Amino acid sequence: MRIVVALGGNALLKRGQPLTVGNQRENVKAAARALAPLAREHSLVVTHGNGPQVGLLALEAAAYTGVEPYTLDVLGAESEGMIGYMIEQELGNMLPEDVPFATILTQVEVDPADPAFEHPTKPIGPQYPREEAERLAREHGWSIGLDNGLYRRLVPSPRPKRIFEIRVVEWLVERGVIVICTGGGGIPTVLTPDGALVGVEAVIDKDHAGSLLARSLKAEMYLMLTDAEAVWDKWGEPDARAIIRAAPDALGQLEFAAGSMGPKVAAACEFARATGGRAGIGALEDAVAIMEGRAGTLISTEFDGLEYRPSLFD
């Protein structure tokens, strides 16, 4: 089976952890343990988030006051290389030596007229208390917004349209290579009127980019692994319930948080409708169980309506 796995930001850095190399490597090692059983049995393509990493790189670039700040497309490419290296090494250490890997710097086309450029919503970088966030916003011209009670920088997050390196990825997958690509949603690019490709200031949502990748590769399954054990209906309310199976149309009628579960649900429904395959959302450590329908939430056109996990009171 051909599977595309999207690792959430918390697969690389737990909430509240300092953004050190050691912390990231330990988290990637845990992700590799979850992915290794899939890689042994299936054709695997991995994509990942980069919000904390690209935000830190932007802060480091801003510290060099003698030069113009590096743009988010360049920083996104840097983060793809760094994270891809860690995934290759840690997953490679858990698989036979002859298993081939490749990390592909992946350019993804977006629409320059996408309304996301006028309404930044994607949080990147560290979390800050309000006063510090407001000071940084004034100094750097940032947009900021709440993220779990603290503040983060917000940047545009346009929808992905096309992955330019998709033929290369397909060739490698056909030859048995484990490919890491479209990291952080891919490097955001636009085509100019004369046909030139240029980078833009944005960070593409990795879940939607992962859905595009999975659809382009004709994958049978698209897994989004995060720190949530499943998709919950009425999350945070007394009558919240975990959804274990869902038809895209039924799931699409529910409301989810725009900055967290919302994009995952939308990307899952998009993949399921377009391919007839299955999408899964759940905890990183449950990767195999989600694929087998024993954990998390599965979304497919095979299902009718919504099926909830039985509660203790049912």
Q: Which residues are catalytic?
A: 9-10, 122, 206, 264
SS3 label, residue 146: strand
SS3 label, residue 233: strand
Q: How far is CA 203 from the centre of its chain?
A: 11
CA distance 125 to 144: 11
Q: How far is CA 38 from the centre of its chain?
A: 18
Q: How many CA atoms lie within 13 A of 6 on its CB side?
A: 34
Burial of 253: CB neighbours in 10 Å, binned 0-12, 13-18, 19+ = exposed
DSSP state of 158: P
The DSSP annotation for 235-291 comes to: TTSTT-EEEEEE-HHHHTTS---TTTHHHHHHHHHHHHHHHS-EEEEEEGGGHHHHH
Residue burial 81-95, b: 16+ Cβ < 10 Å; e: rest: ebbbebbbebbbeee
Query: For residue 139, what are its two tokens?
Result: 């100094």
Q: Which are the contacts of 64, defined by CB distance < 8 A and separation ≥ 6?
A: none
The number of beta carbons lying within 10 Å of the beta carbon of residue 237 is: 9
Q: In whole angstroms, how far apart are CA 178 and each of 157, 221, 262, 285, 290?
A: 27, 15, 28, 20, 20
- Evaluated on CA atoms 267, 269, 273, 277, the torsion sign reads positive
